[in-house]
Amino acid sequence: MSRVETRGHRLATNVDQPALQNKIRELKKSKNAVLLAHYYQVPEIQDLADYVGDSLGLSQQAAGTSADIIVFAGVLFMAETAKILNPEKKVIVPTLEAGCSLADSAPPVGFKKFISENPGHLVVTYINCSAEIKAMSDLVCTSSNAERIIDSIPEWQPIIFAPDKNLGRYLIEKTGRTMKLWHGSCIVHESFAIDKLLNLYQQHPDAKIIAHPEAEGHILKVANFIGSTAALIDYARNDEAQKYIVATEAGILHKMKEAAPHKELLAAPSNENNTCACSECGFMKMNTLENLYHCLVEERHEIHIPDTIRHKAILPIQRMLELSKPEMENR
C-alpha cells in the first residue's frame, strides 16, 4: 500500500461532495466547458478535471481545446495564458484571488526598468509571471522546457532571466550560460527546511529526494532528481526506488500516489512549526468545489486581457510551444 504523509488539505465541510461533483460534471457537459487543473489542486478538483497537468501541459491543452468555455483551476497566470491563447473563448476561474507569490515578485514598472538597465539582453521569463511581463518578453519557458529554451539561444546572446532566481541559478549551472537574474521567488518552495529534510532522510536512508527547481539551491544540491511537477510524477512512476521525499507543493502527492501506488511518498518538511501547512500553496488552495460550482453556474470570474498586451504576450508563448514539441511528444 502506498502511504502519503502530508499535513493534509482543507476539505470542504458541510457539503455533499459527491452531489456537488455530479452537478459540476453536468454543468461542464451542458456548457461545453473544459476543466483544466494543476497538480497542486485539491484531490476533489483534480478528480473532476478533464486534464490535470503542469504549466506546459496546461498551456498545450488550452491551445488545442475545442470547448466554448475554459474553466481554469490553478492560479491567475495560468488562466491568463489560456486567455492569451484563446481570445475568442470565455476563460473563467473559481476565484480572482488565486494569484502567485512568484508572479507578484515581478511588478511591470520595476521589470521594465530592469530591462532598460540591461540593453541588448534577450528576455526569457518563466511562465509564472503576469501577462504584462510576458508582453515584455522574447521567450517564455516552464520548468519542463527551460533548459531546452535556454539552449536554443545563441551562445553570444546575453540573457535576462526572470522572475525566479532559484530556477535561474539552477539553469546557469545546467546550461553553463551567464544570465542576469531577477530576484523573485516562490514562498512555498522557499519554505523547505534543509535541516529537517536531512533529518527525515536519516530516518529513511532508502528514500530518494526529488525536488522542483523553484526550491532553493541547498535543497536542489541534495536532490537525486530535479524536475517539473509532471517530471517528478513520471520519475516516481518509472524509477526503481520504493520511497521518495518530495520537495514541492503537497498537492502533487495525489497524482503521484496514483502513478506509483505501491511506493511510499513523504512530503519534504518546511521551515515553520509543525502546525503550518507551508508546503501548500495558499493561492492554489483558494479554489474549492463550492467556488468552482458557482464559477460554472454564473460563468464568472472571467479573465480579460487588453489587446495591446495580448498581441505582444502571445508571441513568446507561441515560440515556447513551438520549441516544446519534443517534451510534449514524450507525454
The mark string for 14-53 relative to ligand SF4 (x by CB under 6 A, - otherwise) is ----------------------------------------
If the CB atoms of residues 251 and 269 are measured against ligand 13P, the closer one turns out to be 251
Q: Does an H or E element contain 8, and which?
A: none
Q: Does 81 bind ligand 13P (CB under 6 A)?
A: no
Q: Does 228 bind ligand 13P (CB under 6 A)?
A: yes
Q: How far is the CB of 143 from ligand 13P (least distance, A)?
A: 4
Interface pick for ligand SF4 out of 21, 59, 101, 105 (rule CB under 6 A)? 101
Which residues, in sequence order, are CB contacts of 43 under 8 Å at separation 6+? 9, 251, 254
Of 235-294, binders to ligand 13P (CB under 6 A) are none
* End-to-end C-alpha distance for the chain, whole angstroms: 26
3-state secondary structure 189-255: CCCECHHHHHHHHHHCCCCEEEECCCCCHHHHHCCCEECCHHHHHHHHHHCCCCEEEEECCCCHHHH
Interface pick for ligand 13P out of 41, 46, 81, 128 (rule CB under 6 A)? 128
If the CB atoms of residues 27 and 35 are measured against ligand 13P, the closer one turns out to be 35
CA torsion 163-108-249-206 (nearest 10°) is: 0
Q: How many residues bind ligand 13P (CB under 6 A)?
A: 11
If the CB atoms of residues 99 and 158 are measured against ligand 13P, the closer one turns out to be 99
The mark string for 104-143 relative to ligand SF4 (x by CB under 6 A, - otherwise) is ------------------------x---------------
Annotate 53-95 with DSSP letters as a single string: E-HHHHHHHHHH---SEEEEES-HHHHHHHHHH-TTSEEE-S-
The mark string for 11-50 relative to ligand 13P (x by CB under 6 A, - otherwise) is ----------------------------x-----------
Closest by Cα among 128, 213, 140 to 170 = 213
Compute the distance between CA of residue 108 and CA of residue 315 in angstroms, rounded to an integer. 18
Q: How far is the CB of 121 from ligand SF4 (least distance, A)?
A: 23
Closest by Cα among 251, 304, 249, 286 to 94 = 286
Q: Does 54 bind ligand 13P (CB under 6 A)?
A: yes
Residues near ligand 13P (CB under 6 A) are 39, 54-55, 128, 142-143, 186, 212, 214, 228-229
